[in-house]
Amino acid sequence: MKIALAQLNYHIGNFKANEKKIVNAIEEAKAKQAELVVFAELSICGYPPRDFLQFDDFIAHCENSIEEIAQHCNGIAAIVGAPSKNPNKKGKPLYNSAYFLAEQKVQSVHHKQLLPTYDIFDEYRYFEPAGEVNCIQYKGKKIALTICEDLWNIEGEYLYQKSPMKQLKSLGADFMVNIAASPFHKNQTEERDRVFAWNTKAFDLPLYYVNHIGAQTELIFDGGTAYYDSKGKKCTELNSFEEGLLFLDSEEDLKEVKPKPASSIEKIEKALILGVRDYFKKLNFKTATLGLSGGIDSALTLAIAVKALGAERVIPIMMPSQFSSDHSITDSIALCNNLGCKYHEIAIKPIYDSFEKQLEPLFKDTAFNVAEENIQSRIRGALVMAHTNKFGTILLNTSNKSELAVGYGTLYGDMAGGLSVIGDLYKTEVYELSEYLNRDEEIIPTNILTKEPSAELRPNQKDSDSLPDYEILDKILYDYIENEMSPQQISKKGYNEELLAKILRLVNLNEYKRHQAPPILRVSKKAFGMGRRMPIVGKYLI
C-alpha cells in the first residue's frame, strides 16, 4: 500500500484554511498514486481547541469540513482527526476521533482511548474515552489506528489501566498508524523515539506516525512525522518545524536512517522563531515592539523576532535613565545595526523626575528603594505600550525564566507584553542561545554577552547583589520546577540552607505575578503557564 503522511501547520478554528490544506494534500497524494493519506490529531479544528469544543456551532463546522473533505476521497482514502459527538447520554458529549474516509464518505470513526490530563493536557475535560477499539480494514490490510497518547502507555511507565495496542494487536493488525498533536519540548525527539521503539518491538509491527507542526500561542509543534520499522528503527522522517508530505510503500524494506541529531539549543532556536512567526501570522499582527535595554535578554528577544518577522517588522525602543551606562546605549545601537533594525530612543529621566516630584509628599523622609526602581520600569512599560496602541503593534516581553521564577520583574513594567519569547529559558540558557546565534557572525555584540547582568535601576546595581550566580540559581530552580524535587532532596546537593530557603520562598511567593504574565513560548517540559498550575495563596515552603 502506498501511504502519504501529511505534516501540516493548522490554525485553531480556521476551518476553511485547514480544510484547504487537507484537500490540497489529498490531491497531491492522489497525483503521486498514494492509496492512503494520513493527517494529524484534531487536524480539522487545530489543537488544542479548548473550550471552543463546548460550542455546538464549532462542532457543526468540524462535521461540515469532514463531509467536504470526504468528497475528495475518490480513488484514495484518508485518515483525518476531528471531534465527534458521543451518541450516548452517559459520559462526555464528545470523542477525540479519527475519521476514515473513502469512496467519498465516512467509512468508520475511531476514538481515542487514553486521554491525557497532565502538564499542558486537559483532554478529559472535553472528551469521553473510547469504550472499544477496532482496526481499519483497507486494501487487504488491517490498520491499527491510534491517537497520540494511545501509544504512550509503555511498560514500566503505565499511566493507564488499558492498552489500546494490545487490543488492536489481538485483532490481527498488520501495521500501526498514530496521529498526534504532540507539543515540542527540547527533549521531545529522544522521548518520542524511545516510546515508539518500545511499541514497534513490543507488538512486532511497523509504525506510521504523523504530528502537527506550527505554534498555537504558547504551544509549539515540531512535527517528527516518521516511519519506524517493527524492530524499533526510524527509517525515514520529515524535516522538523516544516510542512511536508512523506510518501512510503508498506511493502518496501526501508533501512534505518541516522540523521545528524540537532542539538537542543538548535531546536530551541527553531521553535522560538516558529513560535513568534505563527503568533503574528495566525492573529494577523504585522509589527512587533520591544524595549531594548542593552542587556542580553532584550538583545536575544530582538534577534529572534528579526529572524521570525524580518527587521522591517520589529521596532526596538531604547529608554535610558540616569542610571543607564553609556555602553547600554552603544551596545544596543550596535545590535540594531547588526540586525538592520531602525530604532527609537526616549530618555525617561524627565518623566521619572516628574513622578518623583508628584510623589514627594507621599514619599517624604523615606529612602530610595524598590518603589523608585519600579517606577522606572513602569514608565518604560507605559512608553512601549503607548507605541503599540498608537501604531497597532504587539509588545514582545523580554523576561527570562530565572527572573520569572524568583519574581525579579515589575508588574505593568517589564512584565508587560502580548507574548513572552524567552520566558521558558533560564538565564544560563539565554547565554547559551545567544552564543549559538553568534556562531557564524557577531549578531549580539560581545560586550552584551560578557558584561555583568544588571537591571540598571540604581547606581552600580548588579543582579548578583541579591541573587546567587545564575549557574547556581538555575540548577536549584530546575530541580524545583522541572524535576519537582522537595527542599530536602535539593538540599542534599550541598546548597547553603539559607540560600535555598530564600530561593524557594521567592518562587512560591511570586506565583501571583506569573498569573499576570503574558503567554510564554514553551520549550521545556515544565513551562510557566498552562503546564504548571500552582495555587497563589498556598503556604507550602513560605
Active site residues: 41, 112, 148
CB atoms inside a 10 Å sphere around CB 257: 12
| CB-based burial label for 439 (10 Å; 0-12, 13-18, 19+) | exposed
CB atoms inside a 10 Å sphere around CB 1: 17
- Phi then psi for residue 407, to 5 deg, are 80, 20
**508 vs 477, 481, 504, 534, 537, CA distance in Å?**
11, 11, 6, 9, 9
- Phi then psi for residue 529, to 5 deg, are 120, -135
Contact 418, 520 (CB under 8 A): no
d(CA 243, CA 9): 7
**131 vs 28, 54, 95, 184, CA distance in Å?**
35, 22, 10, 29
Strand, helix or coil for residue 145:
strand
d(CA 520, CA 215): 12
Termini Cα distance of the chain: 61
